Amino acid sequence: MSSYAELSLHVRLFMKGYPFARYAIEPDLHAPLKRPLREARVALVTTAGLRTQQQQDFDHSSKMGDFTFREIASDIDVQTLIESHRSYAFDRTGIQADVNLAFPLDRLRELERDGAIGLLNHRHFSFMGSIVGPRKLIDHSAPQVARMLREDGVDVALLTPV
């Protein structure tokens, strides 16, 4: 990981002028696990802007950012996923070499096979990162995905923000 000083001047100036918003949200991120991890149902949630070849691309024209999500089936070959993150500052090198860096589904399959986790959920979710105006994400998309995960009986959601 690079330090702020190692970023290009262009990126540092962008970060200095970025209109970071503050939202008073206090999610219960410390909910106790109700069963051992080796019995838990696990799902992935990423902000890498991943989608399948059959799914519509994320909307890159919205200045506030695309607040929608894409559902990704658990049996997908992760190397067929398309990364379509909108940020020009997003380093795609690692994901282009191995999508598991942002969406470690293959690693979770290994953990499931080895009995370290219970079951992988039948679906996972991908959001677009770099959302300048997250109100629709906070009010609509994120709660919708949370409901879907709850309905699926997911015990652990592994978040992979990029």
Q: Is residue 152 part of a domain?
A: yes
Residue 126 predicted with pLDDT over 80 = yes
Token pair belonging to 119: 């079951």
What span, in angstroms and rounded, lies between the C-alpha atoms of 93 and 21? 28
Residue 8 maps to a domain:
no
Distance from C-alpha of 60 to C-alpha of 104, rounded to nearest angstrom: 25
Number of domains in the chain: 1
77 lies in some domain: yes
pLDDT tens across 87-107, in order? Answer: 766 777 888 889 999 999 999
- Band (pLDDT 50/70/90 cuts) for residue 25 is low
pTM: 0.85
Question: How far apart are alpha carbons 124 and 158 in whole angstroms?
Answer: 10
pLDDT value, residue 89:
67
28 in any annotated domain: no
Residue 3 inside a domain? The answer is no
Q: Is the pLDDT of residue 28 over 90?
A: no
Would you state the pLDDT for residue 39? 97
The amino acid present at 96, given as its one-letter code, is Q
Measured CA to CA, the distance from residue 41 to residue 121 in angstroms comes to 6
Percent of the chain with pLDDT over 70: 89
Task: Note the pLDDT tens digit of each residue in 29-41.
Answer: 667 888 999 999 9
Residue 129 falls within a domain, yes or no? yes
Structure-token match 């080796």, residue found: 38
User: Among 160, 154, 161, 159, which residue's Cα sits nearest to residue 37?
Assistant: 154
Q: Is residue 4 part of a domain?
A: no
Find the domain containing 108 and state its range: 35-160
In-domain check, residue 121:
yes
The 10 Å Cβ neighbour count of residue 138 is 14
